[in-house]
Amino acid sequence: MNILYAKTVLYVYPNIMNIVKQIDEVVEKKALSSMDDYSPCLVQCEKISEYTRQKINFLILKRVCDRIMSKLSDEEKTLLEYKFFKRKKREEFDGFDFSSRTYFRKQIRLAEKFARLLIKGGIKEENFAEDYLASEFMRDLYKRVGEQEKLIRKNKSAAEKAAAAVLAKHKIATGEQTDPTEKFFCERNVLWRDKRSQ
């Protein structure tokens, strides 16, 4: 399951009402300045109609997210608040261990759960692009979340390779049986580090 769109929704959720307010302001300005706009009336109406459609979509998204939030436990809400909403200071999260592997696993499971609940609420990945990525800031946010995910995967892959190299080096040092690729990988990694430190 691709949870990129769910994470994008989580980042935007606390600000949906601000977005709706901004859309209202844009619509009002467009309507008031329509006399100064020399484009055909139909074009102006279509622009206003598109802004109104976006507003309705965001209100639907807010309603679905509110329902999802009501189904989550206090711990899950705290995890989302810390990672995505960022409305509270770090000091307000006393008692939570945000550096352990368990925390990161919980965040992954919670994002997947949120994505499943979004689908149940009618916000599917296929419709997300059509309904929400029409606005530039949502496209930018979605792109940033995607880049962040790629970076996390890349760092995880590098960490796994480094751990494998350490394990292989330990096996070589202790005389344990290793397969030839492990030995090659370890030796190559050590050589690369030596060259880099020079």
The pLDDT tens digits for 132-177 are 888 888 999 999 988 988 887 777 666 556 656 656 655 665 655 5
Shared domain check, 90 and 13: yes
Site of tokens 């994008």? 8
Dihedral sign (CA 66, 56, 116, 96) = negative
Amino acid at residue number 41: C
The yes-or-no verdict on residue 191 having pLDDT over 70 is: no
Helix (H) or strand (E) segment spanning residue 38: none
Statement to judge: residues 150 and 84 lie in one domain? no
pLDDT tens across 20-66, in order?
Answer: 999 999 988 888 887 777 788 888 888 889 999 999 999 999 999 99
* Domain interval for residue 12: 4-134
* Residue 7 pLDDT grade (very low, low, confident, very high; cuts 50, 70, 90): very high
153 and 128 together in one domain? no
Distance CA 21, CA 16 (A): 9
Predicted TM-score of the model (pTM): 0.71
Q: Give the percent of the chain with pLDDT over 90.
A: 31
Are 107 and 20 found together in one domain? yes
